[in-house]
């Protein structure tokens, strides 16, 4: 199955970031905060949303920083995705 976002929505997949403490301990996934960096998997077409023309500026493959509390989590074929509005994306990491 494939997710195809509508309007100004973007499908993200969290980047696995291994964190190490100052003393060298590697933190397990449950011991660290939810990452706010993700990879763009699919991008909606944009268009008119709430009376405003939305032009999509992110593209598939971009690494982005997104709102900690934005979006909806979806699990499809055992993989977790986050669907957010483009406005919930703060920056593209280059």
pLDDT digits (tens, 9 = 90+) for 77-92: 999 999 999 999 999 9
CA distance 10 to 39: 10
Beta pairing partners, 5: none
Decide if 36 is inside a domain. Answer: yes
Structural domain includes residue 3? no
Residue 59 lies in a domain: yes
Euclidean distance between CA atoms 53 and 31, whole angstroms:
41
Domain count, the chain: 1
Contact 62, 86 (CB under 8 A): no
Is residue 29 scored above 70 in pLDDT?
Answer: no
**CATH number of the domain that 87 lies in?**
2.30.33.40
CB distance 14 to 84 below 8 Å: no
88 three-class SS: helix
C-alpha to C-alpha distance for 90 and 65, rounded to whole angstroms: 6
Minimal CA–CA distance to 8: which of 75, 92, 71? 71
Q: Which residue range is the domain that position 73 belongs to?
A: 9-93
pLDDT tens digit string along 31-86?
445 668 999 999 999 988 888 899 999 999 999 999 988 889 999 999 999 999 99
């Amino acid at each position: 199955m494939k997710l195809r976002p509508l309007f100004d929505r973007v499908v993200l997949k969290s980047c696995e970031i291994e964190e190490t403490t100052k003393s060298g301990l590697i933190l397990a996934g449950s011991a660290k905060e939810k990452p706010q960096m993700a990879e763009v998997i699919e991008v909606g077409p944009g268009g008119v949303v709430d009376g405003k023309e939305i032009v999509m500026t992110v593209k598939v493959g971009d690494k982005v920083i997104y709102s900690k509390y934005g979006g909806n989590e979806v699990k499809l074929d055992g993989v977790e995705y986050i669907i957010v509005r483009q406005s919930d994306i703060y920056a593209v990491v280059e």
